[in-house]
Amino acid sequence: MKLVRQSLSSPYFTSLATVALLVVMFALGSFAYTGFFSLQVVLNLLIDNAFLLVIAIGMTFVILSGGIDLSVGSVLALTTMISAYLLQSWHWPPLLVIACVLLIGSAFGALMGALIHFFKLQAFIVTLAGMFLARGLCYLISINSITIDQPLYVTLSQARIGIFGAFVSPSVVIAMLMLALAIYIAHYTRFGRAVYAIGGNEQSALLMGLAVGRTKVMVYAFSGFCAALAGVLFSFYMLSGYGLHAQGTELDAIAAVVIGGTLLTGGYGYVAGTLTGVLILGLIQTLIAFDGTLSSWWTKIVIGVLLFVFCMAQRLMSLGAAGSASATPATTPAAAAA
């Protein structure tokens, strides 16, 4: 029991469990299906989920700070609509369009962060309102899908970058660069340490003199930026803007973050773990596709079961840590008396 308690209270428990699950799932798929064990299958997971990885990176920072952001899927859709409209109707230069939508996404997130902090509103309610607002703005632009045929977007959509006989898309390169930047920000900057401190205990962070308000606004601004960047990558992937794009993506992002080992209560987690969570979600879809006999709805069922399991693991980890902490004061006086 002591070994189990120590394992559950280990800060690496959920992260190691996630990596182990990914390895086991890939091994089972390799034994069960011909052609599954290949580098291209792994890279296809990244190609198909590059936008989800970027959006989950922003969600990781929000959850680490003790918040939640339900607007990211709608911001992604709004980004595709604005991009398509500016490219096809106004014929703006593509780089200017990308800069514009990234700025809009960041400002949208910063506004929600300011409302949450300065008006002491619940993040769930504010970002829920943001979700409806962004999705509604999509239909003010157009109720129909807008096809993107701008040459740069088409080129980036069709481009392939060779890796050891396999290939990835430019979106994967952008997503991995974003992941590396996020890891550096989270673990090697003052801002990252402030995010962890606020998620652990906001009142303690205030007493420590941390800029809680500024940090929370920046966290949601970063989440909005990531959602907009994911929208740009999704535009490359789909070559269209549509108000129905990315419905439910915010829930997939939350699932990837939790499965990746970040605590929903905030204050603990690794940005790199989010990559593992995204790969697991993609691997579930790939296994179902290789099987060929199962409905795509089994993806949601399996993800739901995994979420329950990882939430229970997080709870057991918290109880294990609490048990270890309570045992320490009890043994110290006895040892001193001896």
Residue 313 binned pLDDT confidence (cut-offs 50, 70, 90): confident
Q: Give residue 69's pLDDT band: very low, low, confident or very high (50, 70, 90).
A: very high
Confidence band of 316 (pLDDT split at 50, 70, 90): confident
Residue 333: the pLDDT is 38
User: Quick one: pLDDT at residue 224?
Assistant: 98
Encode pLDDT of 123-174 as tens digits.
999 999 999 999 999 999 999 999 999 999 999 999 999 999 999 999 999 9
- 269 vs 186: CA distance, rounded Å: 10
- Whether the per-residue pLDDT at 229 is higher than 50: the answer is yes
Asked if pLDDT for residue 261 goes beyond 80, the answer is yes
Query: Which residues are registered as beta bridge partners of 168?
Result: 161
Is residue 10 scored above 70 in pLDDT? no
| More confident of the two residues 15 and 25 | 25
- pLDDT tens digits, residue range 265-297? 899 899 999 999 999 999 999 999 888 887 778
| Average pLDDT, rounded, for the chain | 90
CA dist 242 and 146 (Å) reads 6
Query: Does pLDDT of 334 surpass 80?
Result: no
pLDDT of residue 336: 41
Give the pLDDT mean for 25-38: 91
**Mean pLDDT value across residues 218-239:** 98
Tell whether the model's pLDDT for residue 232 goes beyond 60: yes
Q: How far apart are CA 158 and CA 175, in angstroms?
A: 17
Structure confidence at residue 213 as a pLDDT band (50, 70, 90): very high
Residue 9: pLDDT above 60? no
